[in-house]
Amino acid sequence: MINGYDIMDKQTLDQLSKQIRAEVIETAHKTETIHVGGCLSCVDILIALYFGCMSVRPEEPNWPDRDRFILSKGHAALAFYTVLAHRGFYPLEQVFTFNKDKSLFTEHPVWKNIPGVEATSGSLGHGLGIGSGMALAAKISKNPYRTFVLMSDGECEEGSIWEAVLFAPANHLGNLVAIIDYNQWQACGRSNEIMNLSPLKEKFSAFGWAAYEVDGHDIGAMIVLLQSIRSSTDRPVAIIAHTIKGKGVSFMEDDNNWHYRVPSADDVQKARQELGFQ
């Protein structure tokens, strides 16, 4: 239980994961939106956070003591919006306005547009710095909330990330958790070939972070890990979540064409079937 919220059992969480995947693919089709692969790689991380770790009050989204979450890989907004809807921040129907003309559900999240969105993101490399500021604020005001930042692996090529990686341990931000959705792809190729990212865990460790690796699709394992680091030291925490781009749909998995490809009606039908929906 977190803050009066009962954590669902494994089967229910896995089913929720499939349902959110199906909704993401269908909405992407209807709204002709890209970035499906990167959405599917982080759905389980988002579920582990919102359904198994973070202390939030959907009915009071600006509750001062809430845990903060920043989707620094803003291009996965559709997955994020869908998870927030299932967590009760707003009705799911609102997400279906995603990316439509004048919708507040923008293709990259905008702060204050939507309950639960804590920062504007989309330009990569901003979230960890903003999250560090929020974690610093919690320290100054002696507030116990934690700040979680979800980044992509390609995003770790931004120099500003490494500025924040140096800053957070220097300021003893043990209340900051960075999660890397390590799907090993970026827009135009393998992230480890385009830049020398690997080994990420060792890099974070060398910079003074408490670094962990986890299967980014094992919701139960992630919940156990996230809860075990709850009363950590004053070292910030980095979690390298090993994921698969396009996870959950056979013809999307590890196929980087799904960075930019919009699912067709046929794709939606096939995907839904694979996920167990008709």
Query: Could you say whether residue 167 binds other proteins (CB under 8 A)?
Result: yes
Give CA 12 to chain center in angstroms: 20
Across-strand partners of 216?
none
Q: 174: exposed, middle or buried (C-beta count within 10 Å: 0-12, 13-18, 19+)?
A: buried
Say what angle helices 127-140 and 159-170 make with each other, to 10 degrees.
20
Query: Could you say whether residue 45 binds other proteins (CB under 8 A)?
Result: no
Shortest reach from residue 113's CB to other proteins, in Å = 11
Q: Are the C-beta atoms of 190 and 184 separated by less than 8 Å? A: yes
Query: Could you say whether residue 236 binds other proteins (CB under 8 A)?
Result: no
Question: Between 170 and 209, how does the x/- string for binding to other proteins read (CB under 8 A)?
Answer: xx--------------------------------------
125: which residues sit within 8 A by CB, 6+ positions away? 72, 155, 158, 159, 160, 161
Query: Could you say whether residue 131 binds other proteins (CB under 8 A)?
Result: yes
Among 16, 28, 71, 134, binds other proteins (CB under 8 A): 134
Question: 152 — alpha (psi -120 to 50), left (phi > 0) or beta?
Answer: beta
Shortest reach from residue 156's CB to other proteins, in Å = 14
Question: Between 145 and 164, how does the x/- string for binding to other proteins read (CB under 8 A)?
Answer: --------------xx--xx
Query: Could you say whether residue 107 binds other proteins (CB under 8 A)?
Result: no
Alpha-carbon gap, residue 90 to 113, rounded angstroms: 12
Q: How does DSSP classify residue 157?
A: G
Footprint on residues 109-128 left by other proteins (CB under 8 A): 111-112, 118-120, 122-123, 125-126, 128
Where on the chain is the footprint of other proteins (CB under 8 A)? 111-112, 118-120, 122-123, 125-126, 128-141, 159-160, 163-164, 166-167, 170-171
